[in-house]
Amino acid sequence: MLMEEWAALKIPNEVSDEEASLAEPISVAVHAVRKSNLKLGDTVLIIGAGPIGLFCIQTAKAAGASNVIVF
């Protein structure tokens, strides 16, 4: 695979391949919660309970959502 040098990141030796593979889906969840302007006590609806949806649940709760509804 070819890509621009800026698009590649070196994974530190102490981070396993399994852990590194979660960086992208977790970043999607964090980005989604940031874009939502979630406030403490908000109720959140997440559509889909796949890997990214599950990370969105965790991220929304960590950001202060009081209720998380999964559809």
Write down the domain spans for the chain: 39-65
pLDDT digits (tens, 9 = 90+) for 7-28: 888 999 999 999 999 999 999 9
| Over residues 34-50, mean pLDDT | 97
Nearest in space to 9 (alpha carbons), one of 23, 30, 19: 23
Mean pLDDT across 19-39? 96
- The per-residue pLDDT for 1 is 81
Residue 46: pLDDT over 90? yes
Residue 63 has pLDDT above 90, yes or no: yes
DSSP letter string, 10-46: PPPTTS-HHHHTTHHHHHHHHHHHHHTT--TT-EEEE
**Percentage of the residues of the chain whose pLDDT score is greater than 70:** 100
